[in-house]
Structure 1
Amino acid sequence: MKTPLLNVIEGGDPSRRQAAAWFARMHADDVAERDRQGWQQWMAADPRHRAAYERIERLWSAAGEHAQHPQIAQRLREAVAPPAAAPKRRSRAGYAWGAAAAAAALALALFVPGLLRRPAPEQSYLTQVGESRTIALDDGSRISMDTDSRLVVAYSDAERRITLLRGRAYFRVAKQARPFLVRSEEGSVRAVGTEFEVYRYGDALEVALVEGRVALLAAPASADAEPTLLAMLDPGQKARFGKRRPLQRLAPAAPGTRPGWLSGKLVFDDRNLAEAVAEFNRYSRRRLVVDGDEAAQLRVSGVFRSDDPHAFAEALQELYPVAVDESAERIRISSRR
């Protein structure tokens, strides 16, 4: 008996069709190392590839609920020809499960709109202390989350909405007509296709624009009120604002400069030591503690590894009039008498 192969419709989103083909190949019994290398290259070539593949994975995970739907069964029976974008190497024995899986996922995604065109549920993401992660969204956008952060993603036909509940995130927004909105209790940031960083701490929201343009919006006074436009940012510009804070323009960076924390570094430019220590403490359970106002107000500049508070304290001791006392739980910094 001939093993059925993956079937997809002509036209439509080529990334989604290719994702289904790779999904089938990667779940075949005879998947080889060269297949994995090809899949990784395809995933890395375009953010839309990763988003499409992860969508197929989510759909397949949820397929059990709808597996007996007649339209899905019909599509599985029609699965006879692989797409041109599929990996060329196939095995009759190893391809069957993957082909059926990908066909079912595509049937759910493309041929049963009544099942999947309900509003997407909100999805919550978080990082622990010392952890970072990158999320690929369905539209090709990507979010890099810094340590100890939490956000909620909710997409609708009208907008792409992200609620930042805690911490910091870097957004690479795929260009679409739907606005991309990052909200918090302190205010919001609206974009279309751009790259920017949003940091929520205390009673403020800090926004740094790397590419494109974004609008800064004040938090509305009530649930049914419209947000107020505070300012537009151009590349390299940075601002801080909040419910009880007026808009404050911060020192600009060179356009195109991405935040250091994306590569595991903390960059301080004339920051007081208390603020620098608070930033370090977001990344480690071994706490830095500053004793006394004199030490807390020292001005610090430099680039430091975010995962090494010991090296930071050692550098302070070399460059500033401070003493460092270390234990297993904390590193205490005080003025040198």
Structure 2
Amino acid sequence: MSSRSSVQGHASALHREARDWLLVLTSGRATTNDAAGFKQWCAQSTAHAQAFAETRLLWENLGTAGRQLREREPAVARHGRMTRRAFLGGAVAASAALLVARSPLHMWPSLPDVMADYRTATGEQRQIEVSPGVVVEMNTQTAMNVRRSEGRAVGIELLTGEIQLQVSDGYAGAFEVKALQGGIHAASGALCNVRCLDGRVQVTGLDGNIRVAYQGRSESLGRAQQAGYGSDGLSPVAPADTDEAIAWRRRVLVFDDRPLSEVIAEINRYRPGKIILTNDQLASRKVHAQVSLNQLGDVASLIHQAFGASVRSLPGGIVLVS
């Protein structure tokens, strides 16, 4: 084997090991022994630490790369033949999508998400006017498709994530959001927040008339009311804390008497890498806090100060809290 081949083989082995460590640390079952072992592995050389950082960035950026290639490179040339550049771009995107589709731990987007009409990356927020009079604000890690009829956008399919939907006064008919086999019907003048995560949909009414339908049942929402659906069916209408529901629009996260485990899970949606909580007793501690999305780099030290937790920062944006 040549010297160059030996170097390449060593690098490939390091990246395979880095991938294995990434899966361990993001499994939700990491222990302090795992953390110590990983720290020792990284300390072997700068190449080890670099391999892990590159692996983590690759998983995070694959979905974005695939989407950008698909948007920039039309598959068909003017004469109906695929160009060489488009073919190569499509091949790269397809390779990325293959890995994306196999994510067992949600460290990168799924295949439907990466192929969505619109998608936001980690920490990204985006405004889309899907139709005259209909504006959708997309939060972090959100994917959606636009549903059309006779060339006109009549609704969207929310694949994952969170949106704020605004339908202007005078809009003809109702605009529909499909999510997890259910539907949200927003009338003219309606404003609502829709969250679709972990197999559950939650809808918060902010203004106007909104109807939530699921499995043959429906509930009507007004201002400051919410309802949701999932494996337990459609929940009844309940009062909603609208400030907490739409705080993300002000780039703030509001937590009112929430377990630390839920707080960390929410924060992880907005920052690269992952905060991993390994202490079950600490996970149940209740949190009252407001966190700016512009200061998420300090969140680990805030947890340490508030709870006296042990915090270990590792390469690739991984933070262990115990």
Aligned ranges 1:1-337 → 2 under 5 Å = 124-156=117-149, 160-175=154-169, 176-193=171-188, 194-219=190-215, 228-247=216-235, 249=237, 252-253=240-241, 259-328=246-315, 329-334=317-322
**Contact 1:159-1:181 within 8 A present in 2 as well:** no
- Farther off after superposition, 290-299 or 304-313: 304-313
Q: Quick one: structure 1 residues 274 and 237, their matched pair in 2 at CA, closer, same or farther if it must change by over 3 Å?
A: same
By how many angstroms is 1:239 displaced?
2.2
Larger gyration radius, structure 1 or structure 2: 1
Question: Cα offset for 1:251?
Answer: 5.1
2:224 is paired with a residue of what secondary structure? coil
Distance 1:141 1:200, change over 3 A: same
Give the Cα–Cα distance (whole angstroms) in 1 for the partners of residues 117 and 173 of structure 2: 21
Unmatched segments (≥5 aa) in structure 1: 1-64, 66-122, 220-227
Aligned residues: 207
Structure 1 stretches of 4+ with a deviation exceeding 3 A read: 243-246, 248-251, 307-310
TM-score, normalised by the number of residues in structure 2: 0.58
Deviation of 1:249 after TM superposition, in Å, equals 4.8
Higher-helix-fraction structure:
2
Distance (whole Å) between structure 1 residues aligned to residue 289 and residue 130 of structure 2:
34
**Matched residue SS, 2:141:** coil
**Change over 3 Å in CA distance of 1:203–1:245 after alignment to 2:** farther
The CA RMSD over aligned residues, in Å, is: 2.7
Deviation at 1:270, TM superposition (A): 1.0
Residues 160-218 of structure 1, C-alpha deviations (whole Å, 9 max, x = no match): 21100111111111232321110112411111121111010111101111111211100
TM-score by length of 1: 0.56
Q: What residue number does 1:48 align with?
A: none
Question: Percent identity over the alignment?
Answer: 24
The alpha carbon displacement at 1:130 in A equals 1.6
* Distance change (3 Å), C-alpha of 1:200 and 1:331: same
Q: Secondary structure at the match of 1:147?
A: coil
Q: CA separation of 1:243/1:160 partners in 2, compared to 1, >3 Å: closer, same or farther?
A: farther
Q: 1:293 deviation in Å?
A: 1.2
Deviation per residue, 1:270-329 (Å, 9 max, x gap): 111111111111112221110121111111111102353332222222222422222232
Distance 2:222 2:125 in 1: 27
Shift of 1:147: 0.8
Q: Is 1:230–1:247's contact at 8 Å kept on the other side of the alignment?
A: no
CA positional deviation for 1:235 = 0.4
Q: Distance in 1 between matches of 2:235 and 2:275?
A: 30
